[in-house]
Structure 1
Amino acid sequence: MTDDITADLLLGILDEVRDDSSGDLVPHLGDYEHPNPDALAMAVCDLDGTVTSAGDDGIRFDLQSASKPFVYALALDQKGVDEVAKRIGVEPSGDAFNEISLEAGTGRAPNGLVNAGALAAHALVGDTDDDEVSRFEHIRALFSRLVGREVEVDEEIADIEAKSAHRNQALAHLLAEEGNLADDPHEVVAGYGRQCAVRVDVRELAHMAAMFANGGLKPGSDERILGRKAVRYANSVMFTCGMYDAAGDWVYQVGLPAKSGVSGCLFAVVPGKFGIAAYSPRLDEHGNSVRAAAAIEELSDRFDLHVLDHVHDDGFGPAA
Structure 2
Amino acid sequence: MSFVSQSQANSFNHEQLEKVMQQALVSSADNTDGENASYIPYLASVPSDLAGLAFVSVHGDEIVLQDADFKFAIESISKVMTLALVLEQSGAEDLHSKVGAEPTGMPFNSVLALELHQGKPLTPLVNAGAIATVSMVEAYNCEDRWQQILAFQSQLANSNIELSQAVNQSEQSTNTHNRAIALLLESSGCIYSEPMQACDVYTRQCSTLFNTLELARVGATLANGGLNPSSGKQLIQPENIPHILAEMMMEGLYDTSGDWAYDVGLPSKSGVGGGLLTVIPNVGALAAFSPRLDPFGNSVRGQQMIKQVAQTMGWNLFSSQQH
Please give the per-residue CA displacement for 1:36-57, whole angstroms capped at 9, x wherever unaligned.
2210010110011111021111
Note if 1:307 corresponds to 2:320: no
**Taking structure 1 as reference, are residues 283 and 177 closer, same or farther at Cα in structure 2, changes over 3 Å only?**
same
Moved more, 206-215 or 221-230: 221-230
**In structure 2, which of residues 102, 110, 114 is the aligned counterpart of residue 102 of structure 1?**
114
- Kept in 2: contact 1:74–1:230 (CA 8 A): no
Please give the per-residue CA displacement for 1:241-293, whole angstroms capped at 9, x wherever unaligned.
11101011000001100000000000000011111100000000110000000
- Kept in 1: contact 2:57–2:284 (CA 8 A): yes
* Equivalent residue number for residue 49 of structure 2: 38
* Equivalent residue number for residue 179 of structure 1: 189
Cα distance, 1:123 vs structure 2:
0.9
Cα distance, 1:82 vs structure 2:
2.2
Letter in 2 for 1:312: Q
| Structure with more relative contact order (C-alpha pairs < 8 Å, separation 6 or more) | 2
Letter in 1 for 2:321: H
C-alpha distance in structure 1 between counterparts of 2:117 and 2:157, whole Å: 40
Cα distance, 1:107 vs structure 2:
2.8
Note if 1:65 corresponds to 2:83: no
C-alpha distance in structure 2 between counterparts of 1:241 and 1:267, whole Å: 13
- Kept in 2: contact 1:97–1:115 (CA 8 A): yes
* Equivalent residue number for residue 115 of structure 1: 127
Cα distance, 1:235 vs structure 2:
0.4
**Taking structure 1 as reference, are residues 238 and 103 closer, same or farther at Cα in structure 2, changes over 3 Å only?**
farther
Cα distance, 1:221 vs structure 2:
5.4
Which structure 2 residues correspond to residues 135-146 of structure 1 after superposition, within 5 A?
Answer: 135-146=145-156
Structure 1's unaligned 5+ residue stretches are 316-320
**In structure 2, which of residues 218, 228, 250 is the aligned counterpart of residue 240 of structure 1?**
250
Which structure 2 residues correspond to residues 12-51 of structure 1 after superposition, within 5 A?
Answer: 12-30=23-41, 34-51=45-62
* Equivalent residue number for residue 278 of structure 2: 268
Please give the per-residue CA displacement for 1:21-66, whole angstroms capped at 9, x wherever unaligned.
0101112124765242210010110011111021111101111001
Moved more, 158-167 or 97-106: 97-106
TM-score by length of 1: 0.93
* Equivalent residue number for residue 199 of structure 2: 189
Note if 1:294 corresponds to 2:304: yes
DSSP 3-state at the match of 1:259: strand
RMSD across aligned C-alpha pairs, in angstroms?
1.6
Cα distance, 1:170 vs structure 2:
1.1
DSSP 3-state at the match of 1:113: coil
**In structure 2, which of residues 216, 221, 225 is the aligned counterpart of residue 211 of structure 1?**
221
C-alpha distance in structure 2 between counterparts of 1:32 and 1:88, whole Å: 29
* Equivalent residue number for residue 318 of structure 1: none
Letter in 1 for 2:129: G
C-alpha distance in structure 2 between counterparts of 1:305 and 1:85, whole Å: 29
C-alpha distance in structure 2 between counterparts of 1:173 and 1:97, whole Å: 17
- Kept in 1: contact 2:35–2:48 (CA 8 A): no
- Kept in 2: contact 1:8–1:54 (CA 8 A): no
Please give the per-residue CA displacement for 1:286-318, whole angstroms capped at 9, x wherever unaligned.
100000000000011101111112x327x3xxx
Note if 1:52 corresponds to 2:57: no
TM-score by length of 2: 0.92
Moved more, 20-29 or 283-292: 20-29
* Equivalent residue number for residue 251 of structure 1: 261
Moved more, 193-202 or 98-107: 98-107
Cα distance, 1:222 vs structure 2:
4.3
Please give the per-residue CA displacement for 1:209-238, whole angstroms capped at 9, x wherever unaligned.
101111111114542101112221010110
